[in-house]
């Protein structure tokens, strides 16, 4: 059983809940119950991480049930509004019930600071309209700011690279997801991509070893930092490995924190002197299995 906490649930609290439950995906469990209390509020990056988790469990033919407590109508309404249930595999049980109609379709465009969860393939080329839509939403929500154009450009660059990486390297038949939410009260734009593929380091490290790159022997945290600080290429052409570094350079202009969930580890990178550095990396290790790579940026727009 996975018991989500009450209040605002960010990535760390979500991962703590998974850890307390045991290894739901990698262990011998045949069924998974996720209990959601009435006062639970999920950040958008956690929502698509939860979505990927549920779909992975369902794809492994585990019985999985989302149990919403009485009084959780607000959260269920928001999940419906953002399209969570539209993308949840039909074999995932929902109690008290799934919405009869798509909340995303009913309210699409009603919140200028929100992009409904968008799914894309981990085996096909990225949809450029999706990236344009994400960037345009960020611009609309901050249009009165003098740096609105710079924010739009940053969001476009970050999503284009993250979604492109998933499409090129995920190798999963399960959908990947992208989402963006502007939190006016917290003066931040939170953007996230979640996939259920092989994992970013699981595809990168063997390629580095094959070409004799010294970065192949770095720890997971240090390799991750190098990817977002200098760029690391799978190919002999090192210029191909600069995409994630370009993401970071745009993000740190807005003092963005970077949260990365790997197969069994979560790493939070906090910028220092306009760059991500190993001494500002905080790791949750020995986490339960979660396939794929789940990346979120939290841009400060105060």
The DSSP result for 244-275, as a single string, is: HHHHHHHHHTTT-EEEEE-SS-EEEE--SSSS
Instruction: Please list the alpha-helical segments (H only) found in the chain.
Output: 11-21, 44-59, 73-82, 84-87, 103-107, 128-141, 148-169, 200-210, 220-229, 243-252
- Vertex 236: Cα angle to 165 and 228 (nearest 5): 45
What does DSSP say about strands 63-68 and 281-284: parallel, antiparallel, or unpaired? unpaired
pLDDT at 56: 97
How is 96-141 classified by DSSP, letter by letter? S---SS-HHHHHTTSSTTEEEEEEE-SSS---HHHHHHHHHHHHHH
pLDDT value for 235? 67
Report the C-alpha gap between 245 and 225 in whole angstroms: 9
Rounded Cα distance, 164 and 293, in Å:
13
Phi, psi of 95 (to 5 degrees): -125, 130
- The residues, any chain, with a CB within 8 Å of residue 92's CB and separated by 6 or more, are 54, 55, 57, 58, 64, 65, 66
Q: Which two tokens stand for residue 50?
A: 């939860």
Q: What is the pLDDT of residue 194?
A: 96
Tell me the pLDDT of the chain (302 aa) as tens digits: 999 999 999 999 999 999 999 999 999 999 999 999 999 999 999 999 999 999 999 999 999 999 999 999 999 999 999 999 999 999 999 999 998 866 555 555 556 678 889 998 766 655 678 899 899 888 887 887 788 898 899 999 999 999 988 877 777 889 999 999 988 766 788 999 999 999 999 988 998 999 888 889 999 999 999 988 888 877 665 555 578 888 888 899 888 999 999 999 999 999 988 888 888 999 999 999 999 999 999 998 76
pTM of the model: 0.92
**Maximum Cα–Cα distance for the chain, whole Å?**
57
pLDDT at position 3: 97
User: In angstroms, what CA-CA distances link 282 with 215, 260, 264?
Assistant: 20, 10, 14
């Amino acid at each position: 059983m996975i018991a989500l906490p009450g209040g605002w649930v960010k990535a760390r609290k979500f991962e703590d809940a998974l850890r307390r439950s045991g290894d739901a995906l990698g262990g011998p469990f045949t069924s998974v119950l996720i209990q959601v209390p009435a006062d639970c509020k999920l950040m958008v990056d956690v929502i698509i991480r939860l979505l990927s988790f549920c779909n992975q469990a369902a794809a492994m033919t585990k019985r999985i049930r989302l149990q919403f407590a009485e009084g959780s109508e607000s959260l269920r309404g928001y999940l419906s509004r953002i399209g969570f249930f539209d993308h949840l595999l039909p074999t995932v049980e929902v109690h008290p019930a799934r919405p009869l109609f798509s909340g995303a379709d009913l309210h699409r465009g009603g919140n200028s600071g929100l992009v409904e969860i968008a799914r894309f393939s981990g085996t096909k080329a990225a949809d450029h309209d999706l990236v344009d839509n994400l960037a345009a939403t960020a611009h609309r929500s901050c249009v009165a700011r003098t740096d609105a154009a710079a924010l739009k450009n940053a969001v476009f660059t970050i999503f284009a690279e993250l979604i492109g990486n998933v499409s090129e390297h995920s190798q999963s038949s399960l959908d990947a997801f992208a989402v963006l939410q502007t939190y006016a009260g917290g003066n931040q734009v939170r953007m996230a991509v979640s996939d259920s593929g092989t994992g970013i380091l699981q595809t990168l490290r063997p390629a580095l070893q094959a070409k004799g790159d010294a970065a192949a022997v770095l720890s997971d945290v240090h390799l991750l930092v190098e990817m977002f600080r200098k760029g690391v290429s799978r190919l002999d052409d090192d210029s191909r490995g600069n995409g994630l570094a370009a993401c970071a350079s745009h993000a740190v202009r807005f003092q963005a924190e970077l949260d990365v969930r790997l197969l069994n580890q979560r790493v939070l990178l906090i910028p220092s002197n306009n760059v991500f550095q190993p001494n500002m990396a905080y790791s949750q290790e020995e986490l339960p299995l979660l396939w794929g790579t789940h990346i979120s940026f939290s841009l400060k727009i105060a």
